[in-house]
Amino acid sequence: MSADFIAWSHSRRKTWMECPKQFYHANVAPKGHPDRVEFIQTAAMIAGNLVDDALTQRIAKGKPLPPQFAPYEPMAAAVIAAPGAKYTQLKVTLDQSFKPCGYFDPQAWCRAVYDCAIINGSHAFIFDWKNGQIWADNDQLMLFAATAFHQFPELEVVETSYVWLRHSLTSDETYKRKELPELWAVLLPEVEQLQVAYRTGHWPAAPKRGAKSCKQCGANQAGKCDKAQGPYGG
C-alpha cells in the first residue's frame, strides 16, 4: 500500500516550489507511466559528481585527488586533520515524527545527504561541495542543520557551508539547537503544501519563475507539458 505522504529532500522541495506539475512528472507519475519524466543528468551535474567522488575518496579513504582537483588538496587535508568523526556522503533520514530512520525505510519522510560532515562532541561542521556558480539560498544549509540536530542529539551547534570549489569561497551559516523550531518553521510550509497536493492529486502548472522555470524543466524537454510558458533550453 502506498503511503499517504511523499518523501522529500531539498531538491524535491525546490522542484515543488519551482512548479507543481514539474514535480508530478518527475516524482509522482509512476515509472513506466506516459506522464513520467526520468531525471537526466546534465553535463554540469556529471562534472559535479566527479569532484564529489574525488573528495569523498580523498577524505574517506585517503586516495590522492586526481591532478585536475589538486587545488582542493589543502581543503581536504584540513578536513582530515580536524578533530572529530568524519563522514562523507552521509545519508540522514527522518520519519514524520522527526525520528531518524533508514534512507529506504517505508516511513522515510525527509532525506538529506551531507557531502562531508565532522562531528566533534556538541559541535558539527557540514559541507556541501558546489561545482557551479554561486547563488544565495540557505534552505539546504538549514535542512542540513535541522536534520543533524535530530540525527545527533549531542549537537548544540552546527556550522554549515556551501563550498564554492571553483571560486575558493564558502557561504557559511551557523545554527544553534535552540533555533531548531525556527528552521522547521521556514522549511515545512512548502512541504505541507506538497503533501496536500500529493493526497489530492492536484498538480497545477504554476512555474514560479515563468518561462525561466519552463526553460529548465524536464517535462518541457520531454514534450509533456502543454502549459509551458516558453521553450526548453536547459
> Interface with ligand SF4 by CB under 6 A: which residues?
19, 21-22, 205, 207, 213-214, 217, 219-220, 225, 227-229
Nearer to ligand SF4, 15 or 195 (CB): 15
Nearer to ligand SF4, 116 or 205 (CB): 205
229, 19 Cβ separation under 8 angstroms: no
Cell numbers at 211, concatenated: 518561462
Nearer to ligand SF4, 102 or 204 (CB): 204
Pairing of strands 110-120, 85-94: antiparallel
- Buried b / exposed e across 116-127, counting CB within 10 Å, b at 16+? bbbbeeebbbbb
**CB 220 → ligand SF4: shortest distance, Å?**
4
**CB 51 → ligand SF4: shortest distance, Å?**
28
Nearer to ligand SF4, 160 or 213 (CB): 213
**CB 105 → ligand SF4: shortest distance, Å?**
30
- Buried b / exposed e across 137-175, counting CB within 10 Å, b at 16+? ebebbbbbbbbbbbbbeebeebbbbbbbbeeeeebeeeb
Nearer to ligand SF4, 110 or 219 (CB): 219
Nearer to ligand SF4, 146 or 205 (CB): 205
**CB 27 → ligand SF4: shortest distance, Å?**
12
**CB 206 → ligand SF4: shortest distance, Å?**
7
Calculate Rg over the CA atoms of the chain.
Answer: 19
From CA 77, how far away is CA 204, in angstroms rounded? 48
∠ CA 108-88-167, rounded to 5°? 115
**Of 45, 71, 77, nearest in space to 58 by CA:** 77
**CB 132 → ligand SF4: shortest distance, Å?**
20
218, 37 Cβ separation under 8 angstroms: yes
